[in-house]
Chains A and B, each alone.
Chain A
Amino acid sequence: MAEDESRISIAKTFRVKPKLRPTSNKATPTPESKFWKSFKIPKDIEFTPSKSVIYPITSIAFSPIAPHDFAATHSANISIFSGKTLEPKSTIASAFADSATSAAFRCDGKLLAAGDLTGTVHVFDAKSRTHLRRLKCHSAAARLVRYPRADDKFHLFSGGDDSVVKYWDVTTETCLFNLLGHKDYVRCGDASPVSDDMFASGSYDHKVRIWDVRVSNSGSVMELNHEKPVESVLYLPSGGLIATAGGNFVKIWDVIGGGKLLYSMESHNKTVTSLCIGKIGKESGEEAQQYRILSVSLDGYMKVFDYAKFKITHSMRFPNPLLSVGFSPDCSTRVIGTTNGTFYVGRRKTKLESDGPGDVVGLGDVEVDPERRVIRPTYFRYFHRGQNTKPSEGDYLITRPRKLKFAVHDKLLKKFRHKEALVAALSGKNTENVVAVMEELVARKKLLKCVSNLDEEELGLLLGFLQKYSTMPRYAGFLMRFTEKVVEMRADDIKSSDQLRGNIRNLKRDVEEEIRIQQSMQEIQGIISPMLRIAARR
């Protein structure tokens, strides 16, 4: 120990290091955004535009029963997709007289209901596609159809552009209650996950009403003012919170606490069209098995909102305006529908999937531990025994002093062979190192000396480098002036060589290009700056 202390190093040697890059938040994704990014288009199925539909996808619903098939409504069709393979399984087309809306699965996944723009609510067998019931009572388009979520299999509710919410007994095709109260189109709603008798509906009169069919005659039990036409209503899994979307924002309400507004998430730039519940399907980690709100908007963004922390944890951009979103209950599939009929299906690779079919399991047992041979001094391995021993927990590790690895240019700089160091850096691949070596040479006041000593070939190398990088914003401040100096110093050599003249031509072209860019950027700045000034005044 005393020996270690006494060994004082005098002066450390340093490598030539490039300037640090600014670290951005994107460089280190949080585990959560990693999770949301892990939803990728499966390789085996391609939702190419040709396969997708051409009409807006108005709603997406997942079956609550595995394998979690999902249904999507578009024009006068409902397409049902297999939850396992993500292939379109079947399409119900003939039943609808007009565009289909709002698909909804029953709690056992056996029945599928959907409305259409004529005001009819259709009920199908999800498997056989048999048209079982037609519930006709709405006088205008039925935009909202939902089954109760807990275990009520006999009722459903619907809302329509006639601003009435109806509660149906499906078996008899009768409307049990007409729930009146909305003053504009009812476009969305959701059933409570904990109670079969409660549901919420949102309307274009900016209100969200919560109904209880047990006290149906007295109108809505609660009224929430969203202050924008409500596009989507979502009961959060606890049943105590409601998320509403409308306009550019999503609001979270505490229903149990008397309809108090908890938070307003205002990060979308266009109308938020749909909400759904997402769940982080990871076993470990801080946020495992937590629920999130997925919101999609016409601005093409899907945002993941943590309603416990009131924070947006992930944000994803799509090239089209988004209309509907669905997330499978087993956390493996995420589907987004757009206005032009494209599906964005993302599937997460899970461990179950990778285990795959049974034959892989069979292979696992073949491998048997090879017999351990006793190592004798006659073996070469005898002399290496114990060298790979891993330290155990409590061991005090004495590490060998880390040896600095020096690059070629570092070694040459150490020997004060400046020009060779510059050439060595230039012939390397790393741009940052070249600039770092140049800066080091500046600090030694040797850079211009080096340039004057370069022979023609090396000068060509340098000019090639300068042409490539002198317009890059990171290095431009330094390299532009340096280029000027180089051209000035070696004008005669450049004139005499064809190749160097070629280099200079390229350089000139790049610089002109850059100047054009700068000019157009200045124009933009000229447009924007008065606007900013006006905005700042407000």
Chain B
Amino acid sequence: MITGGKSLVSSPPAFSNDAKRLLVCTGNTVSIFSTSTGLQISELEGHGAPVTSVIIVPASTPASKVLCHCWTTSLDGKIRLWDFMAPELIRTIDAGFPIHSMVIPSLLSQQMESKGKSPNLFAYIYIEAERQREGQPNSSCGQIRKCNLTKSRLAGGVSLAETHKPGCISISPSGKYIGICETHKLRIWEIPTKDSDNTVYKKIRLHHTKTFTTLAFHPTERVVAAGDVTGRILLWRGVGHRTFSIGDKFINGGLNKDAEERPGVRGNDDADSCTTWHWHSAEVNVLFFSSDGAYLFSGGREGVFVVWQLDTGKKKFLPRIGSPLLYFTNSSDPSLSSISCANNQIHLLRMPSMEISRSISGIKLPNSVSDIYEGSGSSVVFDHTVGFVAVPTDNYSVQFYSLFNDREISEVQICERNHQPGDEATVKVNLVALSRDGSTMGTVETRLPEEGIGGFVSLKFWACGSQNKDFSLSTVIYEPHREASVSSIAFHPDCHMAVTSSYGGDFKIWVCTHDTHLKDQMLQSSGWRCHAVGSYKKKPMTAAAFSADGSVLAVAAEKVVTLWDPDQNILVAVIGDTLEPIVTLSFVGKSTYLMSASRGSNPQLTLWSMSKLSISWSYKLHTEDVTCSGDSSTFAVLALLPKTSECVASTEATLQGFDGAILLFNVENPVPLATWFVSKAQGGRLGFIQKSPRLPDEVTDVKSAHDLLAYMDSNYEYVLFNPYGKQGHNQSITRWQNLSNLEEKEKIGYASIYGELTEFSVEKDQTHIPHIPYEKNWETLFSGPSHKLAPLTKLCLDFLESSLERRSVTVE
């Protein structure tokens, strides 16, 4: 079983102390990536729920730099301490509540303190607690609690704050303040340097008219920056002079300023001044002060990384990141930091020049606004032979992702258009199809009209040169079916033929023609042409499929299935009548069965026998996706569990958040061979993948010849398993070992600037000098009158040479 496709950007990543590793929360695990290669090297496994935060224990002394400990929190309520180089678990603390965020202020302040024995390590955790209130038994709320990590327990009943929803705690770089955003206000606490179980916290609130999204503390001064949903950045200076400075004996002049003298500060907030910067057009997600406090970094939905000079408000931009920014993380290496983007990419940024040196990309997440294209089918397709999945992305391209390696392979730009992350999607790649051998890709993109004008559909065929999936455009067909949109594309299994069906009531068969009239110039032009057009009673064609040998083309005309001879374009037979329009058609392997699935109020999964032209059997199932294995006569169905059934209450306990089931069928038998329950099945996909030779094949019986089944849920997290074998064997452990070798050794000092010095040998020079000192040379060397002696520089060499013991001449 292989799992993957996890979101890399669910929570902020963290750099290790030497900035060579990046720890990223990926689902229930923490993945460790090398910053020099961008590849995953190991994984921390142990949490039972998504990991929400990872905190590196900083190295207070150079000696402790080798120490690679980190704290992680998870929604399963556990706080764990790891040695991430080993990687092994050191400690586990059970907090009891789902933890959404954790900060450990004393880790940061320790650096500045003298190396004493720190009594207790306190962490502040933002947990999801149940609200103790009558009437709303199930409502949850956020609570900030204090946790004594040394004693592994929650600090006695202290709850700093209670909010409606748990979020993220921000901490100042010095570890002195922590703060949260709560709708229209910021709440900031001062953490005393001598923290203990029961301390009284000084706290202030800052108010604003808009909802806050993020918050950042200045490293040295009392400056707080906060971003809101409208794109404004508010910058408070002299925060908390009144409240915090009394204890600190801090001399300040602005203590008793009047409201008029505190420009921009709202109401009775405790700040000297508040300035507003407004450049971002949409929500600000990222705010971060540079370590020297001279710059403020910000980023938001429009995908532009902005650097503000704090004193002047001057801006520098890193535009066209292409996706909303989510987090910014800096490392101990001042030139390296990372940006996490909403499209599941982490860019490693070389700082002063703001250059992206490397990108770690996960599978690109589904478009949130894809609902407007409902009914046009899901567009994620599996490449059967090499185990790739093709995912259309927001920026009008198709990403190829290797399921076995959990890594991006390539990205093909389908539509050459500039992508603005904040925009409403009006252009979308909504159908992708791959030919069986993976050499040809067909895509359909739709442009939505503006008030009925200017919308069109274009069909594109792509040809692939190599295994690396670098597709090049072969043919563009604008409006392949007049104005109607395309419902499906299917490729002929053997020859260059494809069929597109449309809701406009016809289907077209396309063939690839090769013209090689210019042989001497090696100019080849190949293009796809319409070979035939067919329609059946002007009914919308909703799905199409070729049989395994390509001799029969099945096209669903709403509720019936029409069978055609694709070469001659002759209607062979019409079968069946379902209750709802058919959305999926598929021939089951090489058998003589055709499977159809329809949705709607009377969903149906039907198996048709081609030899008898009649229904073999059918189920009333809401089918999300079906897939057929290439050669055997089995197929798998992803069915949504019915929500309105009366047995909900009884099955609730057993299903535990599962909303779908994968059923594996054989054509002969309506009883499924196997069943698995899955979660997030709505919008999920299924695919049979050929077993890769790279996989460690621990099952070497006959069944290993079968394909693997891949299930991808609506969040594009996938699992790959052998549907015929026993479950539970985990193959992913050995996956990273070969990758860790790839990590290159980082050069330091001289080598980092000038490269490695070539080792030159001194011996080489010596061999040229025919210099054979005789025995006991030094005895006679200095004898004689001094005016006859040779110059000392000459003698010295002779002397030293003779005094050294000669090696015997066995070297030759």
Contact = CB atoms under 8 A, between A and B. Distances in A.
Nearest to B454: A442
A445 B452 contact: no
Contacts of B358: 6, 8
B452 to A, nearest CB: 6
A376 B617 CA distance: 92
Interface string B347-358: 100000001111
B426 A444 contact: yes
A447 B449 CA distance: 11
Nearest to B476: A20
Nearest to B527: A23
Given A438-B454, A445-B426, A14 B418 contact: yes
Contacts of B320: 10-11, 13
Given A7-B355, A30-B517, A445 B322 contact: no
Interface string B731-768: 00000000000000000000000000000000000000
A535 interface: no
B447 A443 contact: yes
Interface string B402-421: 00000000000100111100
Given A6-B358, A10-B322, A481-B453, A439 B447 contact: yes
B417 A14 contact: yes
Given A439-B447, A447-B454, A448-B450, A8 B359 contact: yes
A12 interface: yes
Contacts of A420: none
A482 interface: yes
A12 B413 contact: yes
Interface string A419-450: 00000000000000000001111111111100
A19 B415 CA distance: 11
Contacts of B525: 23, 28
Give the interface size bracket for B toward A: 35 or more
Contacts of A6: 357-358
Contact of A10 (B356, B416, B449, B453): B356
A interface majority secondary structure: loop
B423 interface: yes
A448 B452 CA distance: 11
Contacts of B413: 12
Contacts of B427: 443
A30 B449 contact: no
Contacts of A439: 447, 454
Nearest to B355: A7
Contact of B347 (A7, A10, A31): A10
Contacts of A441: 450
B321 A10 contact: yes
A79 to B, nearest CB: 40
Contacts of B322: 10-11
B395 interface: yes
Given A11-B322, A13-B418, A14-B416, A482 B453 contact: yes
A440 B450 CA distance: 11
Contacts of B449: 442
A364 interface: no
B520 A285 contact: yes
B451 interface: yes
Contacts of A485: 451, 453
Given A8-B358, A442-B450, A286 B520 contact: yes
B537 interface: no
Contacts of A15: 416
Given A445-B426, A447-B450, A11 B356 contact: no
A352 to B, nearest CB: 25
27 contacts: A6-B357, A8-B359, A10-B321, A10-B322, A10-B347, A10-B356, A11-B322, A11-B395, A13-B418, A17-B416, A19-B478, A23-B525, A28-B525, A30-B517, A31-B518, A285-B520, A439-B454, A442-B453, A442-B455, A444-B423, A444-B426, A445-B424, A445-B426, A447-B450, A477-B479, A482-B454, A485-B453
Interface of B: 320-322, 347, 355-359, 395, 413, 416-419, 423-424, 426-427, 447-456, 476, 478-479, 517-520, 525, 527
Interface of A: 6-8, 10-15, 17, 19-20, 23, 28, 30-31, 285-286, 414, 438-448, 477-478, 481-482, 485
